[in-house]
Amino acid sequence: MLKTLSVSELSGYITSIFEAEELLQNIKVYGEVSGLSLVRGNLYFNLKDENSIMSCIMFGVSSNLIKEGDQILATGSMRYYSKGGKLNFYVSSAVPYGSGILYQKFLELKNKLELEGLFDNKNKKPLPEKINTIGVITSKTGAVLHDIQTVSHRRNPCLNIIVYPAKVQGTGAESTIIDGLKYFDKQKDIDVVIIARGGGSIEDLQPFNTEILAREIVKISKPVISAVGHETDFTICDFASSIRAATPSEGAELVAFNLFEKLDKINISLDKLNYLAFHLFDSKQEKMENLISNMTSLVIQNQKDNKNKFYQNIEKLKSLSKVLFLNKEHNLELYKNKLILLNPTETLNRGWVRLSVNNKLVSSVKKIKKNDDVFIELKDGTISAIVKDFKEKI
């Protein structure tokens, strides 16, 4: 007869089986860490190898204990979590156990392609100055496409976005991405191709870490922007692309120039142009007016100087004429005195007499004869006399 059990009864039974199985208690398991997340001090991750995967939980640890892609040796026990209906490996301690195989493969491929020169700048195509249409290879569902559309249309509502729906995770993802690249390469109006995907574990991003995709990116004629994962996720796709955008939103920003910013810039330039044109007039006018006022004050000064020179000359002339008259007056006085001295009346005053014969002045006895009638003038009168005798000075 079939036994009927409740879910809890069945879960309890499973739990007890695992707890009783010594082989599953306190054991060591090695594998590669993936899908790591830290929630309230508990680490949730998967341990995996090529064929299998195991869900693991580690309580009360810091985030930097292990990282994505690490190959670790974990010690713990298998337990059935009845509330979640899930079998987990509860890890009590973990130590490094070589490096993660996927990560190792990623590094090897990166080095190989780098050495080959596939990532060289010569293989990078510059973004065209005018981007009108972009091709986006991404999942049709999910936030990535929405983010790209929102961000790019906010900046430039005129941008055409053509989407190539692709698988971005799991089997077959790589080939749909490559098909997308090939498709867009043939479309003439596509200016740039964006390969986009949100963040994920190294396994999730595996389709973006393949050699064939890297070579296809380099091969096509259009520039490719890799917008895969979060800022901290690096993929081969990033290195092979013309530009790596840290996030899908940044990818959209790169292709959608800000139309409004550009319009603002033009307006600012026009304002500057207007300002400079009028400023030029103002500065030229100011310079000229300075020269004119300088010139005016110089002319006024020049006229003042010339007037002063004129006044100085007048003053000089005045003083010179004064000196001239003074000299003349002095001379005149001298002449006057001389004249005074020469006045015969003055001689008579001093006691001398004037003698004349027949109205002729006589100054020498040689002009006198005996019995000449002589006329003698004195200071205060005249005498008429007859010459009795005369004697010449010897």
Partner 1 sequence: MNFDEYNIRLQEIIKKLENNDVSVEEGTKLYEEGVEIAKKCYETLKTNKGKVIILKEELEKLSNFADED
| Chain residues in the site for partner 1 (CB under 8 A) | 267, 270, 274, 277-278, 281, 284-285, 287-288, 291-292, 294-296, 298-299, 302-303, 305-306
Strands 133-138 vs 354-357: parallel, antiparallel or unpaired: unpaired
Least separation in angstroms between residue 287's CB and partner 1 is 6
Alpha-helix runs per DSSP H in 21-128: 101-116
Give me 123's structure tokens: 């293989």
Indicate the residue among 21 and 261 with the shorter CB distance to partner 1. 261
The 8-class DSSP code of residue 229 comes to S
Indicate the residue among 37 and 283 with the shorter CB distance to partner 1. 283
SS3 48: strand
Least separation in angstroms between residue 319's CB and partner 1 is 24
Indicate the residue among 9 and 282 with the shorter CB distance to partner 1. 282
Indicate the residue among 49 and 286 with the shorter CB distance to partner 1. 286
- CA distances to 206, 208, 258 from 202, in Å: 6, 10, 34
Least separation in angstroms between residue 300's CB and partner 1 is 9
Least separation in angstroms between residue 312's CB and partner 1 is 14
- CA distances to 64, 156, 213, 238 from 220, in Å: 40, 26, 11, 15
Indicate the residue among 112 and 309 with the shorter CB distance to partner 1. 309
Least separation in angstroms between residue 280's CB and partner 1 is 9
Distance (Å, rounded) from C-alpha 231 to C-alpha 41?
Answer: 23
Distance (Å, rounded) from C-alpha 310 to C-alpha 85?
Answer: 122
Give me 263's structure tokens: 């319009």
Indicate the residue among 284 and 338 with the shorter CB distance to partner 1. 284
Least separation in angstroms between residue 228's CB and partner 1 is 38
Which residues are bridge partners to 157 per DSSP?
none
Taking a C-beta distance cutoff of 8 angstroms, is the pair 353, 378 a contact? yes
Alpha-helix runs per DSSP H in 208-258: 211-219, 236-240, 248-255
Least separation in angstroms between residue 314's CB and partner 1 is 15
- CA distances to 181, 262, 279 from 273, in Å: 45, 16, 10
The 8-class DSSP code of residue 121 comes to G
Distance (Å, rounded) from C-alpha 14 to C-alpha 8?
Answer: 10
Distance (Å, rounded) from C-alpha 181 to C-alpha 186?
Answer: 9
SS3 83: coil
Least separation in angstroms between residue 193's CB and partner 1 is 31
Indicate the residue among 283 and 343 with the shorter CB distance to partner 1. 283
Least separation in angstroms between residue 301's CB and partner 1 is 8
Indicate the residue among 278 and 390 with the shorter CB distance to partner 1. 278
Taking a C-beta distance cutoff of 8 angstroms, is the pair 264, 258 a contact? no
